[in-house]
Structure 1
Amino acid sequence: MLISKKLKEKVIIIAESDQQLLAEIKLNLNKQGFLNIKTALDGKQIYEILRSYYGIAEKIGLLIVNEQLPQCDVLAMCQQLSSHDASLIPFIILSADENKHNIENSEFNSQALIHQMSYPINYSVLMDTIGFQLIMMQERYLRHKQEERLINELAERKIVDAKLKYLVVHDELTGLINRHNFESQLRLVLMRSRIRQQEGALIFINLDRFSLVNELEGFDVGDRLLIEIVAIIRKIIFKDDLFARIGSDEFCLFLDNKTAKEVKQFAERVRASVDEFKFSSGGVCYSTSLSIGIASVNTVTADYHPNEIISKARQACRMAKEHGRNMVWSYNETDTKVQERNKDLYWVPLIKKALLEKKFFLVFQPVVYLDNGKISHYEVLIRMRGLQNEVISPSDFIPVAERMGLIHSIDQWVVESAIDFLAKLPETSKISLAINLSSVAFQDDSLLPTLKEKLSLTWVDASRLTFEITETAAVENFEQTRKMIAEIRSLGCQFALDDFGAGFCSFNYLKTFPVDFVKIDGQFIRNLINDETDQVLVKSMAEIASNLGKKTIAEFVETPEVIAKLKELGIDMAQGYILGRPEQALLTSSFIALNGLTRTSAQPKRFTNWFSEKVS
C-alpha cells in the first residue's frame, strides 16, 4: 500500500514488553520508512509518551500494543483514545490466538480504528494494516476538521446576523437606539401620552464645538468623548427613558409624564453635569458643554408627528447655540428665529420653482442728473411672480435666499438677464444699467467668469454696466471685495457704493474703495428739508465724494423741495418715485423736466423691456 511521506512522519508508538520482539518490530518499520518511533515496555510508559503530545495529538500516527502489556488495560485505553474524531488514535492490538478477544466487534469500535493481529507477526500484513489505519485516521481527522469549521462558520454567521439585527436599531458606538428606532418608538409614546392625557417633552442635545475636538485630536478621541458624555447622561436618566443618538453629536431624549418645570430642571441638571466634566487627551484638558433644546408635548396640543417634535426641539437647540451655547432653551412659536425658520421653509421651494420656471423678472428705475434732468442710467431691480401671478417684492424672498444659499443663483440670473436686456436694445442705444447685487455676491468665485463670458457672447460694452454694493457688505469683507471689484472694473464696468453713510466708517473706507458712484442712504434724504443735521452731512458727503472724483446719487427722493435742496447741496443725481417708479419698461423720454416734474413731449423710440413681453 502506498503511504504518503507526511503520514510516515507521524509518531508510531510500539508498546511491547518483549524487548527482542520490540526491536524486531521497530526494525521492520524503519525499513518501510517509519523513522519517528517511540517505544514503551508497559502501560505507564505509553501514557508518559502521550502526555508529551498533549494538545498536538494529530502528530501521533498509531499505537501498536501487546494485549498482555504489563500495567495496561488495553480495552480501557482503546475506549479513551479511539472513540472521538478530535483525538483519534488507531490501535493495532497484538495477541496470541488463544487470548484473542473480539475487540473489533465491541460497541465502541463502531467509531474507533482498531485492528487485532495474532502472533507470530506477519510483517507484510502489518504494513498493510498500518497504511490502512493511517489513511483512515487522516480521512476521519480531515472530516472532523471540516465539520468543526462548518460549525464555527455557522456560529460566526449567527453572531454576525445577531449583530446586524442589533445595529439596525442601535448606534454601534454608544449602544443607544438609533434615529429610525427612536422615531418608531416615539410615535407610540406620543400616542400613549395623548390617550392618557399626559404631558411630556422631547429634549434635543447637541455637544458644543465637538468638531474642534475631532479636528485637533482625531476621530478616535472624538468617539471616546461621545462615549463618556453618554455615560454621564445615562447616570441621570431613568432606565426606561427613550434615549437615542440621531446624529454625529446629536442626541434625543424623551421624558414621559413630566411637567414643563420638571423637564426644564432635568435638562439643567444634564447640562450642569456635562459642564463640570473635564475631558483629557494627550495632556490637554477640554471643557465640554451642551446646548439643549426642549419641545413640550401637552394635553391640549394636537397630535405630533415624531419628525415635527424633533424639528421643534432642534430649533430650540439652535436658539441655545445662537444665544451663547451651554444653555437650555424651550421652543416658542413667537421667537423671531423660529418665525424666520418657518418663513424659510415656506419660501425656499417657491424660490427654487421661480428659478426653474423663470418666474423672476426685472424692473428699471431711472437715475436722473439734477443739473439738467437727463437720465443717467437705470437701476435694475428684481421681482418674482407668485403662485397666483402676483408680484412679490425682493424684501420678501432675498433675505431667505441669502440664508439658504440660493442667492448666488439669483445674482447670476440678474447679471445675465440685465446683459441680455442691453444686447436686445437698438445698436444706437446708449442706455446704461446699475445692477443691484446681494451682500454676498462678491464672495462668489463664479461671478467674474460668468460676467466675462456673458460680455464676450453678447458684445455689450462693459462701461454700460454699473454694479452696486452696499457699504455694510463692502466693509464686512473689505479686502476680498475690493479685489473682486478691481477685477470687474478692469473689464470696463463701474461701481456704486450703496447706502453710503449707514455705517460708522464710511469716509475712512471711501478714500480707498474703488467705486465710481456714491449712493447716499435714504435715512439722510427722507427728512432732509426739516433736518439741518442731515443737510450738513449730505453736503459733507457731496464735497468729499467730489474731491475723490466720485459722483453722488441721492435715494428716496420724493418731493420737488428735496430735489431743489439736493441741487443746492451739490448732489449730482437723484432716484425716487417722483422721478420714476421701478417699471418693466423704460421711460419713453430720455430726460425729466425737473422744474415742473413732467416728462417732455419728445418721444424717442420706446425701449421695451425684453422680459415684459413674456410676463404681461
Structure 2
Amino acid sequence: MVNNNSLKDRIIIVAEHEEESARNITKALQEAGYENIRLAEDGSKIYEVLRPYYNRPEQVGLVIINEDLPQCQIREMCRSLSCTTDGSIIPFVVLSKKNSVQTTFCDKELCESQSRCLVYAMQHDFSFKELLMAVEFQLGMKHERFLRHKQEERLINELAERKVVDSKLKYLVVHDELTGLYNRNNFERQLRLILNRGKDLRQEGALLFIDIDRFSMINELEGFEVGDRLLVELVVLVRKFISANSLFARIGSDEFCLFLENKTETQAITEAQKIKKAVEEFRFFTGEVCYSISISIGISTLNTSSHIYHPSELVLRARQACNTAKANGRNMLWLFNDNDIAVKERRHDIFWVPLIKKALLEKELFLVYQPVVELNSGEISHYEALIRMKGEDNTVISPHQFIPVAERMGLIHNIDLWVVETAIDFLASLPAEMSHISLAINLSSSAFQETALLPTIRDKLELTWVDASRLTFEITETAAVENFEKARDMIDKIRALGCRFALDDFGAGFCSFNYLKSFPVDYVKIDGQFIQNLIDDETDQVLVKSMAEIATRLGKKTIAEFVESPKTIKKLKEYGIDFGQGYIFGRPETQLLKSRSISIMNLINQPTAVDSGLSF
C-alpha cells in the first residue's frame, strides 16, 4: 500500500490562468494537506517550475492544468511528460470547460496509450472532492510506476555481464543503437532479398531517402544530446504513417531510408507527402527554444527502364534525388529520373553563369518595388526593393531562377553590391517632394562575408547625400543564425551609419527568440507561411500572436508578409502587427505608387480576397 501522507510533500503545479479558479483549487489542496503548491499562469511557467527538478523528477507530484491555458501546447506537453516509461513520469489532471467527453487534448493517439500515460480528464462540472480523489489516484500511480521502474532497473543490473554484452552486440549487428531502426547493412541485406524475389515478377516498390534539413545546426547550437532526442522524436513521428513491418533504416547521422513494398510511384509520392507535412507541423522544444523542422525526400522506384540489381543502386538514386531536393531549396520531394544527376545541375549552372555575368555588365538586372503598409493608418511606410533579370523577348526572370546559381557559383557578392548601389541611386534620383520614400533591401545569406559591403554602403551614401535612415537592410533568420557573430558585428557597423535592419522570414527556420533578444534589428518580418492560412489555422494564430507580443516587448516593429485577404488584415490588426506586405496592397512594380496611403477600411470591407499575395 502507498502511504498517501508520504506523497503530500510532492510539488503540485496548478496551471490555471483564471485567478479565482486557481485560488479555489489551491485552497482545496491545502485543506487536504497538500502544502507544496506552485502556480503557473501559462505554459512557459510550467517549464520554469519543472526546470530545477530535471534531475529530481521524483520530487514533482503532478500538474493540474486548464485545457485552455495560454501559450501551452497541451498535447505535446502531456506526451513528453506523462507518457514516459521510466521514473520521471509526471501525471496530469486536465480540467476542461467543454461539455464534450472528448476534450481537444485527448486525441486518438493519447487515448490509445492510456496504459502508459497518466492523464486524467475532468469535465466542467467537477467537484473539489472529485479533484482531490483524482490527485490522490494520480500520485499513487506515479509512485507505483516509480517503484516498478526501480525494480526493473534492479533486475536488469542483476543480469550477467556477458549475457548483456552478447545480447547488445547481437542487436547492434542489425539495428541502430539510438533509434532502434535497421542499420545500413541489414537494410541492404533485406532489400537485396526483395529485389531478388521480384526479378521475374517485376513487382512495384519505392525507396524514400529522408534527410533532415540543416540538422548540423541543431547539434552546433544545442549539443549532440538534444540532436539525438530530435532524431528519436522524428522516428516516432514517421512510424505513425508506416506499417509495423516496413523496411525502415537509419543509414547516416540524419539520413533515413524507407522502402515501400508493392507501392506505385503515385502511392509513394502520396506517402512521402504525408510524412513531409507531418514533419512541417511538428515543433521540437528544448528549454525555451522552439525549432521548426523540415525534411528533404528523394524517391526512387523499381519501375524504371533499366533493371536494378543491387540495393545500393536504388539507394544511390534516391540519395541523388534527395540532394536535388536540397539543392532546390530543401523541404521538398524529388522523384529520381535519369536527368536528375549532379552533372545536369552543373551544366545548368554553367548555362546560367554567363547570363548572370552578362546581366551585371550590360545592365539587364533591374529592381521592382512593393509597398509595405502601416496597418493602422494605411500610410506606406516604405518599399521593398526586389531584383529581377531581363530575359529574351522582354520576359522577366524571377530571382528564384538565378540567385541560387549565383550563390553556388560565387557571383552573389556582385549582385548584393549591385542591388545596394542601384537602390541608393534610385532614392537619390527621386524629387524633393518624395524625400520621405525609404527602401528595404534584401541581403543574401553570404553578404556578411563580403568585406566590400560596408565601405560600398558608406561611400555611396556620402556621394549621393541620401539619408541613411531611408535604408533598411533585410537578412533572413536562418542566415543570421548561421553567421551569428559576423552578422551581429556587421549589422552594428551598418546601423552606426544610420541604416535600419529587419530580420526576414522570422519563424521559418529555428524560431529562436534568444537570437531575437540579442539581435540588433529594428523590424521583424514574420514568415509568410504563418500568414497565408492565418484565418483557418489556430496554430498559426497562436504563433503569430506570440511573435507579435515578444517583438513588441523587445521594441521591434513587426511586418507580416504574404497578406492576401481582407480578413487577414483585420486579424493582423487585432494582434498588433505594425505593417503588412502583399499583393492586396500592391504588386512589385518598377514605379512607385502615386498615393502615399492606402485605405485599410476599404480593403477590409472588400467582399473577396485578391489572388496570391506572394512578395519576392
Could you say which TM-score interval applies, normalised by the shorter chain? 0.3 to 0.5
Q: TM-score, normalised by structure 2?
A: 0.43
